Structure formats: structure tokens, C-alpha cells
Amino acid sequence: MSGKESPTAQDSRMASKTPLVMLVTHSLGAGGAERMVYELARHLPEEGFDVEVVTVLGGGELLPMFVESGIRVKVLERRGFFGIGTILELWRIFRAEQPSVVHTHLFLADTWGRIAAWLARVPVVISTEHNVNPSYGIGKRLLNRCLAPPTDAFVAVSAEVKRVLKEKDGIPAKKIKVIKNGIDMGSVLARGAGLFKDVPRLLCVGRLFPQKDYATLFKALALVKRPWRLGIAGTGPLERELRALAERLHIAARIEWLGYRDDVSVLLKESDVLCFPSRYEGLGLAPIEAAAAGVPVVASDLPPLREVFAEDDITFVPAGDVPAWSAALNKVLGDPADAVMRAVRTAPKTRAEFDVKIMVKKYTRLYREFV
């Protein structure tokens, strides 16, 4: 799981000339980017690539899943000022293992991984940008621009992310490809066409961070006059604050804090509505997975989701708008037949477009352009 790769594995790869892709990411926490790395690492061997994952900020909830799937993982920690120690450790790993491709994800891993790959003269360096990051200041964007020349390709998970990379980071358009993240459709469980429960079951899936804006949802739910219960699958630093908000709004008894869950497909199958109140996203896998399962979705009206869904596929609501969220939830809960009909209609095309095998094939073609 950490340390140097065994000589047997390294010698075998060199003898067979199987190209090694090293996926460098922050950690293996329960986020969309980390799940994408898992799916890519799991399927790349089927496409003729050897693969190894390197984290730079420790492990995380998904680490056991990687190990159980037989994916090699090196777990590093942040070391030194600006992570200089981590950069040197990455450099040593790259020099020792001679990857054909270093593929980086998320800001610190993206930055440190590309610097180390450049120092180690890795033949191909690819950076995937997973979010639009409105909080990034000029320093971070300038750093990304400075690292553009030694980066062979940038991947944006949506057209909106590509726009931000071009307009705010100054990345040449010809270097950016759009590859949307995919989902293992074999694990998606269909909800079916039944109407809502007597007390409709709402679900949120996502870490408890400011970006996800659970506060707006809570305030809106406090205004909803119809019955409901809400399950929240996720952990994060805002849990105590959000629990206190729920108490003040007198809705705490109707909220179930589920913590980290590795059975989201089961939760979706048992739910009536997926709520997705994020203020911004690079793509948004939770509503996509819910739509693939035939679960009605109420989501913030964000550009990446407009790329995915037509107007009537899901219920779009202005981000951060409490009255609009309350009205939308009242409408969906008041007309379950319409909500379920739209969800059942949307499921097949979502499954077809976002199957993880499509994502893997696109990344494989991108790697083959350079390897």
C-alpha cells in the first residue's frame, strides 16, 4: 500500500512494456473526484494499462475499497513548506517506477504531482480539473497557468469547467478536452415507478462543506407544509453547525444523519427525491446517479447540470434562493406522479450517457495520443 513497488511487479511491467499510469490525488475521501479515480484505476487494466494511485494528503474512507479491488496505492502525507518534502517523495517515486503517464487530480496533488513529474522527466503529464473553484484567487490560477507548458493535456469534467480554465486560468483551448465523469451503472439500483411514501423520503449525498449549501435546503424545508423526512449521507466540518441550524428551525427530528455510506445505490433506491442544493459544481455526480436510478431530482440551476439535463428532466432551482427551493419542493411533493414520470423517462438516457466505460474509453484514447 505504500513504499516501493515490488521488483516482481516492476520487472513484469518492463518486460511486457505495459504503460504505467500513475493517478495522483489528494486523498481517498468520499468525494466525486476520488470516486472517479477509483473507477479509472479499476478499469484501466482492461484497456492495457498498468495503474497505481498515489495520494499526497493521507488515506480516507475509500481506501479499503481501493485495496479490496486490488488497486495499488501509495499513501503519502504533506511534508515540508509548500509540500516540498512531498514533491521530493513524488519525484523519487516517479524516478524509480518510470511511469508513462502521470495523471493528477485536485489542487495540491495537481500542483505537486506536475512539478515532480516535470523534475522526473515523466513523458506524459495530464491534469483533470474537477471543479470551477470560484474561491480560487489569482495566485492559484497563475500557478496553474505557469504549469501549463509542461502539461500535455488538461481534462475538464464539463464544458463549464473548460470555460473557466480558458477564461480564468489562461489555459489554451487546444490543450483542453472535456471528458465527463462516469458511474458504474452495474451498481445502480432502479427505484421503480411507484409513487412517494406517505411521508416522502428526501436524500442528500455529499460532504458537509460550504459549497454544498445545506443551509439553504434546511431553511427551505422549514417552510414546506407537506410531510417529509430527510436523510443526509456525508460527513464534514459543518455537521455541528448544521445540526444546530436544524434545531433552531425546529426540523431536527425529521433529519437523519447517515454519515459516510458506501451503499448510496441502496439509499437512492429507497428514496423518493434527491436534493442537490450546491452553490457551484464542476459536474455533480449525485444528481446524475439519482437520475440514472430513476429518482426524481431537485437541484440547483448550475451550468454543468444544464449540460446534462433538459429543462423537464429534473427540477431546477436557483442556487441559494430559499423561497424558490421551498416552492419547488412543495410542487414536487404535491405532484409525485409528475415527478416520477419525468424521472422514469430520464433514467435510460442518463444511464446511456454516463456509463463509466465511456469515460474510461475516452481517457484511454487520450493516453494513447501520447503513449
Question: Would you say residue 1 has pLDDT above 80?
Answer: no
Within this chain, do residues 148 and 218 fall inside the same structural domain, yes or no? no
**1 inside domain:** no
Q: How far apart are CA 302 and CA 287, in angstroms?
A: 12
pLDDT digits (tens, 9 = 90+) for 95-118: 999 999 999 999 999 999 999 999
Confidence of residue 338 (pLDDT cuts 50, 70, 90): very high
**2 inside domain:** no
Within this chain, do residues 216 and 231 fall inside the same structural domain, yes or no? yes
307-317 mean pLDDT = 98
Question: Would you say residue 197 has pLDDT above 50?
Answer: yes
Q: What is the pLDDT of residue 17?
A: 82
- Per the DSSP assignment, residues forming a β-bridge with 265 are none
Within this chain, do residues 174 and 248 fall inside the same structural domain, yes or no? no
Confidence of residue 135 (pLDDT cuts 50, 70, 90): confident
Cα maximum dimension of the chain = 67
- Looking up residue 73, the CATH number of its domain turns out to be 3.40.50.2000
Within this chain, do residues 226 and 83 fall inside the same structural domain, yes or no? no
Structural domain of residue 150, as residue ranges? 7-182+355-370
Within this chain, do residues 171 and 260 fall inside the same structural domain, yes or no? no
Within this chain, do residues 30 and 123 fall inside the same structural domain, yes or no? yes
Question: Would you say residue 7 has pLDDT above 70?
Answer: no
% of the chain exceeding 90 in pLDDT: 94
Within this chain, do residues 130 and 265 fall inside the same structural domain, yes or no? no
Within this chain, do residues 67 and 123 fall inside the same structural domain, yes or no? yes
**341 inside domain:** yes
pLDDT digits (tens, 9 = 90+) for 37-75: 999 999 999 999 999 999 999 999 999 999 999 999 999
SS (H, E, C) 228-242: CEEEEECCCCCHHHH
Within this chain, do residues 318 and 361 fall inside the same structural domain, yes or no? no
CA distances to 53, 77, 153, 242 from 98, in Å: 14, 21, 19, 46
**133 inside domain:** yes
Within this chain, do residues 252 and 146 fall inside the same structural domain, yes or no? no
Within this chain, do residues 173 and 205 fall inside the same structural domain, yes or no? no
Question: Would you say residue 14 has pLDDT above 80?
Answer: no
Grid coordinates belonging to 266: 441502496
Q: Exposed, middle or buried, 174 (CB in 10 Å: 0-12/13-18/19+)?
A: exposed
Question: Of 285, 155, 135, which is closest to residue 211 (Cα–Cα)?
Answer: 135
Within this chain, do residues 201 and 93 fall inside the same structural domain, yes or no? no
Domain count for the chain:
2
Strand order in the sheet with 201-205: 255-259, 229-233, 201-205, 273-276, 297-300, 315-317
Residues 6+ apart with CB under 8 A from 266: 189
**311 inside domain:** yes
340-347 mean pLDDT = 98
